[in-house]
Amino acid sequence: MAGNKIARVTEDVHREITAILRDVKDPRVRGCLLSVVRVEVTNDLSYGTIYVSTMEGMDRTKNAVQGLKSAAGFIRRELGRRLQLRHVPELIFKPTDSIEYGASISRMLHDLDIPEAPEEKEEGI
């Protein structure tokens, strides 16, 4: 039962953090395409690890994480106000390059020269 509650709170935190990031005024955060990749919340709701990524690369993501760390108080306060939790987790932001990695895989697949299979003719009855 407790695992279900943690999963629900994790989803709620993910959704609300994504919405709150639009309101952050720090130029390091505002000037990039920032995406929340994954959220992990501890069982006692004391810590929440937020993994973020950008399309611009790992250096830009690390810069955005510095902006998020400085705005962590605002984000935590907004999260508590929106979710109305008894204990709002302390937020830990970590950079990840998963969006950039996914885009590179997509480019590699697109660049492959795979001939298309000939379409089969349908036989009429």
Compute the CA torsion angle 67, 79, 16, 100 (nearest 10 deg): 20
Position with higher pLDDT, 106 vs 37: 37
Model-wide pTM > 0.75? yes
> If residue 51 lies in a helix (H) or strand (E), which one and from where to where?
strand 47-54
- Lowest pLDDT segment from 25-29, 51-55, 91-95, 105-109: 105-109
Position 122 confidence tier, pLDDT thresholds 50, 70, 90: low
Q: Which CATH class is domain 2-108?
A: alpha beta
Instruction: Name the residue with tokens 């990039």.
Output: 32
- Residue 1 in this model has a pLDDT that exceeds 50: no
* C-alpha 69 chain-centroid distance: 15
Integer Cα distance of 48 and 121 in angstroms: 56
